[in-house]
Amino acid sequence: MAKVDITEKVVSLSKRRGFVFQSSEIYGGLNGCYDYGPLGVELLKNVKEAWWKDMTFRENIEGLDASILMHPRVWEASGHVENFTDPMVDCKECKCRFRADILEEIDCGSKAYKGRKAIKCQQEGKFTEARNFNLMFKSHIGPMEDSTNVVYLRPETAQGIYVNFLNVKESSRQKLPFGIAQIGKAFRNEINTKNFLFRTREFEQMEMQFFIRPEEDAKWFEYWKEQRINWFVKYGIKREKLNIHEHEKLAHYAKSAVDIEYEFPFGFGEIEGIHNRTDFDLKRHTEYSGKRLEYFDDQTKEKFTPYVIETSAGASRSFMAFLINAYDEEEVTKENSDGSKSTEMRTILHLHPALAPIKVAVFPLVNRDGMQDIAHNITEDLRNNFKVFYDDSGAVGRRYRRQDECGTPFCVTVDSETLENSTVTIRERDSMVQERISKDKITEYIHEKLRI
């Protein structure tokens, strides 16, 4: 399968099966904004829960959920008001706006030049001079819209952690090293959005800020780099599809930085950043707030500003990586009713069972002899533990194919043998192998398969 086709096929599958919809589609859509459908919201929730469990089921990492709206001085201290900009140019001909630093990646906005890269228009002198554009969404608190009540939709979740450093440390009685983890929405007024969920204006981040002694920064930087790579592999991302990109040009706050990149159909793209942010953020907030964000070591009697190792993953980008990584098409042989055999294409999502939106589907083989009642009873019992889908419509083969497209790892079928001995067939998605088990053992069977 050509790489160029995969994203288009995943976008089509996402709408057809209810993973992702274009926002406000009935009004023509809103560029760079997406809605997560019934299956998408489950997959996204499972990705976030897997991350949350991996991060916070530890002795030395605490959770936080900071407000999206924060005091505007927070963003002055962080440097976002002054520095969070992209260079922007306008095309004098088609009036479209572009990021000046990625013109070679963006198509021209005019329908007359379909497929032509914007860099060509720049070379022909069609663009205005570049000017800086701040990416933060600005709003106001209260009835008056003036400079005294400006607020911003947060462009990242990290600052909410830094300003709560003392609150979390004192309330949880944590000692260094310790971390604060948060999952939350962030907003960036991107000049150009592209590549489905990869670059959007509203997205979710899964961030952990790990506070350490300054002299231990190299050790913890390497530790978290390895931990985060292993997490993606643990949940099914192919290791050969991951790349570590080391930054040569560092941000103003960083001592060292790497990106974990996934090989999307358009090329390698960042899905998580690991940064040694030194003591920059805590010192800046100390300067701007007048509150000392320091740590006192009871044993050494030292008082100092901790360094921070940041792990910052995009929940939306991780969702997209897991979805594309799982997408597959394969030719399978089926037996026809007359005994002959033929082949067909099977579309399948090889999602890790822990991430799969639906864990198990339940089918009555036919709608008679009380099979529906048994299947309904099994469904209700399984719903005490799992997300379950009941389906009694169409041939069983077609029902399997629908669940394959949804990434459902297990399908349970109630058949005539169930009526005789209370066993069912349970079919595994990837291998399509079926085995018979007691209907009373289904929950135990699935729990065992889901155990990581």
pLDDT in tens, the chain (452 residues): 444 468 899 999 999 999 999 999 999 989 889 999 999 999 999 999 999 999 999 999 999 999 999 999 999 999 888 776 767 677 777 767 676 776 677 777 666 666 667 777 777 777 887 777 778 888 898 887 776 788 999 999 999 999 999 999 999 999 999 999 999 999 988 877 778 889 899 999 999 999 999 999 999 999 999 999 999 999 999 999 999 999 988 888 889 999 999 999 989 999 999 999 999 999 999 999 999 999 999 999 999 999 999 999 999 999 999 999 999 999 887 777 677 788 888 999 999 999 999 999 999 999 899 999 999 999 999 999 999 999 999 999 999 999 999 999 999 999 999 999 999 999 999 999 999 999 999 999 999 988 86
Distances (CA, A) of 50 to 228, 309, 385: 12, 21, 17
Choose among 375, 353, 352, 372: nearest CA to 362.
375
**Which residues make beta-bridge pairs with 259?**
245, 273
pLDDT for the residue 21: 95
**Which residues make beta-bridge pairs with 22?**
34
Choose among 131, 138, 136, 137: nearest CA to 98.
131
Determine the distance from the C-alpha atom of residue 74 to the mean position of all C-alpha atoms in its chain, rounded to a whole number: 26
Please give the CATH topology (third level) of the domain spanning 37-70+152-323.
Answer: BirA Bifunctional Protein; domain 2 (3.30.930)
- Taking the C-alpha atoms of residue 290 and residue 326, their distance in angstroms, rounded to an integer, is 49
pLDDT for the residue 165: 97
- Computed on alpha carbons and rounded to an integer, the radius of gyration of the chain in Å comes to 26
pLDDT for the residue 108: 73
In the block, residue with structure tokens 């959770």: 63
pLDDT for the residue 117: 74
User: Residue 75, class by beta-carbon neighbours within 10 Å (0-12 exposed, 13-18 middle, 19+ buried)?
Assistant: buried
Q: Which residues of 50-63 are buried (b: 16+ CB within 10 A; e: fewer)?
A: bbeebbeeeeebbe
pLDDT for the residue 109: 65
Distances (CA, A) of 16 to 12, 171, 325: 6, 47, 18
* The amino acid at 240: E
Kindly indicate whether the domain formed by 358-450 is annotated with CATH number 3.40.50.800: yes
Distances (CA, A) of 128 to 14, 104, 124, 179, 251: 38, 16, 11, 46, 27
pLDDT for the residue 2: 42
pLDDT for the residue 4: 46
- What DSSP letter does each residue of 383-437 carry, written as one string? TTTS-EEE--SS-HHHHHHHHHHHT--EEEEE-HHHHHHSEEEEEETTT--EEEE
In the block, residue with structure tokens 């590549």: 195
- What DSSP letter does each residue of 241-299 carry, written as one string? GEEEEE-SS--TT-SEEEEEEEEETTEEEEEEEEEEEETHHHHHHHHHHS----EE-TT
Instruction: Give CA torsion, residues 282, 288, 289, 293, to 10 deg.
Output: 20
pLDDT for the residue 284: 96
DSSP summary character for residue 194: B
pLDDT for the residue 1: 42
Q: Where are the domains of the chain?
A: 37-70+152-323, 358-450
Question: How does strand 178-187 pair with strand 150-153?
Answer: unpaired
